[in-house]
């Protein structure tokens, strides 16, 4: 992520990011202590978030700058926690995904909707979509939670959301008793692909 930001800056695609980078680094250092393994569950939102997701299939919602962050959470949950997860981009998810909450009806209670939102950086209509979709989840007996990243700059908020999702995926792996670094299915798939070239 840092290399891409640096490249964008050097190519003139991003303005001076010194303030945003400084804010992001300070925020991540502070939150590392709060999210870390030594932090008890009562003061650790990442541990509590992981606990809420145990036994559920997470669906992560993000819009605008948080769409790629939602995708990252999905990938980290897949790879580190070894759980099935999905992500939905807002506003696109409101064009079809909300209709798919009916069946299979016996599995809906095993879903968990996670919304990455920002009062400062979400488009007002996307913010409204987050709010309404969250309420619809609750009305359909789907566990729903909201994550609002800290910080003021877009960079700081994105990095804080990434940090939180990474920690949640790590604690879910611990909860399921799996090694977050193991990727045997990927290795096997690559091996089989290599055999067919």
Enumerate the active-site residues.
Answer: 79, 95, 190
Q: Give the strands of the sheet with 143-147, arranged side by side.
A: 86-90, 57-63, 111-116, 143-147
Q: State the Cα–Cα distance between residues 145 and 112, nearest whole angstrom.
A: 8
Cis peptide before 91 (omega within 30 of 0): yes
Q: State the Cα–Cα distance between residues 53 and 48, nearest whole angstrom.
A: 9
Mention every residue, 6+ apart, whose C-beta is less than 8 A from residue 119: 127, 148
Q: State the Cα–Cα distance between residues 71 and 87, nearest whole angstrom.
A: 6
């Amino acid at each position: 992520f840092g290399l891409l930001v640096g490249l964008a800056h050097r190519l003139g695609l991003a303005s001076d990011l010194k303030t945003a980078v400084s804010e992001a680094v300070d925020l991540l250092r502070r939150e590392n202590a709060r999210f870390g393994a030594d932090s008890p569950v009562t003061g650790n939102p990442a541990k509590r978030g992981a606990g809420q997701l145990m036994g559920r299939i997470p669906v992560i919602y993000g819009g605008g700058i948080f769409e790629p962050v939602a995708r990252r959470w999905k990938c980290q949950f897949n790879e580190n926690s070894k759980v099935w997860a999905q992500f939905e981009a807002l506003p696109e998810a409101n064009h079809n995904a909300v209709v798919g909450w009916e069946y299979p009806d016996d599995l809906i209670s095993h879903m968990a909707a996670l919304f990455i939102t920002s009062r400062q950086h979400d488009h007002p209509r996307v913010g409204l979509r987050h709010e309404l979709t969250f309420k619809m989840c609750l009305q359909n007996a789907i566990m729903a939670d909201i994550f609002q990243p800290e910080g003021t700059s877009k960079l700081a908020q994105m990095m804080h959301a990434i940090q939180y999702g990474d920690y949640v995926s790590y604690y879910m792996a611990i909860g399921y008793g799996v090694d977050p670094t193991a990727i045997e299915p990927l290795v096997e798939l690559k091996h089989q692909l290599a055999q067919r070239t």
